[in-house]
Amino acid sequence: AELIPFSESDRLSRPRIKEPEELDDSRPWYTKKRILSVIAAVVALIILAIILGSVLGTQKKHTAQTTSTSTPTLTTTFSSIYYNGSAPDPVSVADAFYAFDGTTNDLYSLRNGAVAGGPVSYIQGYVPYGQAIVLNQSNTTQINIQPAFNLTTNSNFTIEGFFMLQKTQLNATLIQLAPNIMLNLVNGVLFASIGLNTSIVGTSVLSTQNWLHISFVYYATKQTATISIDGIVEATNSSVKLGISANNTNSVIIIGAGFQGYIDQLSISLIAKTQDVIQWDATIAAYYRLDFQWTLDSGPNGLNASGVDVNTIFGWRYDALNFNASDASFQANGFTALGTPQQAFSVALWVRAETRSGVFLTVANPYTCLLVLGLQNDGNKIVAYLPNATATGAGVNIVGPQMPINAWTHVAFTWSSTNFAKLYTSALLANVGVDATTLNNVRGGNNSAPMTVTLGNYSGSANCQGIQGVNVSQTFMGSLDEVFVFAREAQQGDLQQIIQTLPS
C-alpha cells in the first residue's frame, strides 16, 4: 500500500477548505472575489450551453445511425465536483496514515502502531506495489496506537480504509478512535458508536475474500455520523454529539481487535469528508489528467504510470498525450479491482482520432486480457472487445458510432454483473453487450491478478486478439486526454458531468 510520502510540513501547510459558515464575507477581498466568481460563472454557463449543444447534437445523430436503442434521457444519477480537473487530496494526506508496508508505523511517524499479541504477517495489498497487514487471531491480536487524538465535542473525523474479511459474521473492532468512539463488526454487520448511547447500525453482512472500502465520518457542525461501504451510505444518524471523556489523549487507538483478514490504506483525518470524497476514495481506481506531469495519478491510490514515445500537446483540458509512433504507449500497473472477479469497472477518456485507426486502450495482466478499445479500419467506428466474455467462452465485440477525425469525442466503457457491458460516446449509450456475462478475470488462478491499463501500443504477453475490424497490434495514432478508471459501474450522470467540463 505504498504511497509517495508527504513531509509533515507539506501536510500542515495544505489549506483547509472552510465550510460556508466559516467564510467572512465582510472582508473586501472576499466580496470582490465573490463578484468576480459570479461573473465568471455566468460566462462559463454561456460557453457551456454552446459547447454542449454542439457535442450532444452531433452525437445523437451518430447514435441513431449505429444502434436501434432509443435515445436515452440525460438523467443525472450521480455527480461529482471532481470531474472538472480537480481532485481531492490522496488518502495519505491525513492526520495519521497506515500503509502497512511491512510495518505498523504512521506515514508521519507521529502515531506509530505496536502489535499486541500476534503474530502478524504482510501480503500484497489493495495497492499492489505495497503490502497489507494480515491479522489471523491465532493468538488474540490488535494494533495499539498512542498518543490518541485530543478530541472534543466539536471535533470532526473521517476514518477510511480497505478491508478484506477472511471469516463470515465476524465480531471485531475495526478501529477504536477513543473510548466509546469506534467502528465494529457485529455478526459481520457494521456497528459504529460515538458515545455510550448513540450508535449507527448497518444492514449488510460484509462479504469475504474481496476488498471493501469502509468509512466512518462524523461532522460536528451538522451533528451527523455516517458509515459507508464502497462509497455507498450504509447507515447515517443525525442530531448526535460525540461522547468525549476528559483527557482522552491518554487513551489508546485500537485497530483490528478480533479481526480476521487484511487491512490496507487506513487513514484517519480530523475533518469530515463529504460523500463525494468518500465515493472518490472508494471507487476511483485512478485518474490521469495527462497534463505537464502526465505520468502522475491524481486519484486516491497513487498508481503512477510510465510512457514511451508519447508527446504532450494542447488537449481537451490543458495538455493531452499524442500517440504518433508505432511503439508509443502509456502504461499503469496495479489495478487490483479490475482483476477482481465480478467487480464492476469502467474506463472513460477523451479521444481524438487523427492519422490512423487502431487500438488505443487495453486492460490486461500477464495471463489474460480483459478489455480492448479501438477504432475500426473501415469507417473509423469505435469498438470494445471482451475476450472470453460469455458463459461459453466466446469473445464479445460491441460496435459504436463512427468517430470524427481531428475532433475530441468522449468515450466510456462500463461493465457490471447486473447491466453487463455498455459503450458510450459523449455520455450517450451507443451500444450494449448483454452476452458479456462472464469476464476473463473470473476464470481462476492468475487471471485475477491485478490488471495493467495501457494506452497506445500494447506489448504485453496476454492474448488480446479478436477485436473486430482492426488488428490488436495496430496502434492508434491520435491523442488521448483525461483518463478515469472506476472500480464501479460509472453511471450516465457521471459521464454527463465529465463532458460538461469546459475545455481549457
Give me 201's grid cell: 447500525
Alpha-carbon Rg for the chain, nearest whole angstrom, is 24
Q: Which CATH number fits domain 89-272: 3.30.465.10, 3.30.300.30, 2.60.120.10, 2.60.120.200?
A: 2.60.120.200
Q: What is the pLDDT of residue 196?
A: 79
Under DSSP, is residue 181 helix (H, G, I), strand (E, B) or coil? strand
Q: What is the pLDDT of residue 344?
A: 96
pLDDT tens figures, 161-194: 999 999 999 999 999 999 999 999 999 999 999 9
Q: What is the Cα–Cα distance from 228 to 225, expressed in whole angstroms? A: 10
Contact 466, 334 (CB under 8 A): no
Name which of 210, 251, 209 is nearest 230 in CA terms.
210
Under DSSP, is residue 32 helix (H, G, I), strand (E, B) or coil? helix
Q: What is the pLDDT of residue 501?
A: 73
Name which of 453, 455, 452 is nearest 480 in CA terms.
455
pLDDT tens figures, 277-297: 999 999 999 999 999 899 999
- Residue 204: band (very low, low, confident or very high) from pLDDT cuts 50, 70, 90: very high
Q: Per-residue pLDDT averaged across 400-410, rounded?
A: 97
Q: What is the Cα–Cα distance from 257 to 172, expressed in whole angstroms? A: 6
Confidence check: pLDDT of 99 > 90: yes
- Residue 246: band (very low, low, confident or very high) from pLDDT cuts 50, 70, 90: low
Q: What is the pLDDT of residue 1?
A: 57
CA dist 367 to 255, 303, 409, 425, Å? 36, 20, 32, 30
| Of 288 and 502, more confident | 288
If you search the block for the grid coordinates 502478524, which residue do you land on? 120
Under DSSP, is residue 49 helix (H, G, I), strand (E, B) or coil? helix
Q: What is the pLDDT of residue 194?
A: 92
Question: Global pTM?
Answer: 0.84
Instruction: Report the range of poorest mean pLDDT among 14-28, 34-48, 366-380.
Output: 14-28
Q: What is the pLDDT of residue 417?
A: 95
- Residue 80: band (very low, low, confident or very high) from pLDDT cuts 50, 70, 90: low
Identical fold between 63-88+282-499 and 89-272: yes
Q: What is the pLDDT of residue 38?
A: 39
- What does pLDDT average to over the chain? 85
Peptide bond into 119 cis (omega under 30): yes
Beta bridge partners of 190: 185
Query: Can you give the residue ranges of every domain in the chain?
Result: 63-88+282-499, 89-272
- Residue 13: band (very low, low, confident or very high) from pLDDT cuts 50, 70, 90: very low
Confidence check: pLDDT of 35 > 80: no
Give me 355's grid cell: 492519422
Q: What is the pLDDT of residue 25?
A: 37
Confidence check: pLDDT of 72 > 50: no
DSSP state, residue 105? -
Q: What is the pLDDT of residue 489?
A: 97
If you search the block for the grid coordinates 448526535, which residue do you land on? 240
CATH architecture of the domain with residue range 63-88+282-499 = Sandwich (2.60)
Contact 494, 280 (CB under 8 A): no
pLDDT tens figures, 119-145: 999 999 999 889 999 999 989 999 999
| Of 325 and 80, more confident | 325
CA torsion angle 113 116 121 122 (round to 10): -20
Q: Per-residue pLDDT averaged across 241-249, rounded?
A: 74
Q: What string of H, E and C letters represents the secondary structure of 465-504?
A: CCCCCCCCCCECEEEEEEEEEECCCCCHHHHHHHHCCCCC
Q: What is the Cα–Cα distance from 282 to 225, expressed in whole angstroms? A: 18
One-letter amino acid for residue 361 of the chain? L
Residue % of the chain over a pLDDT of 90: 74
- Residue 9: band (very low, low, confident or very high) from pLDDT cuts 50, 70, 90: very low
Confidence check: pLDDT of 382 > 70: yes
Q: What is the pLDDT of residue 7?
A: 37
Contact 394, 379 (CB under 8 A): no
| Of 423 and 29, more confident | 423
Confidence check: pLDDT of 58 > 50: no
Contact 315, 309 (CB under 8 A): no
Peptide bond into 147 cis (omega under 30): yes
Q: What string of H, E and C letters represents the secondary structure of 57-92?
A: HHHHHHHHHHCCCCCCCCCCCCCCHHHCCCCCCCCC
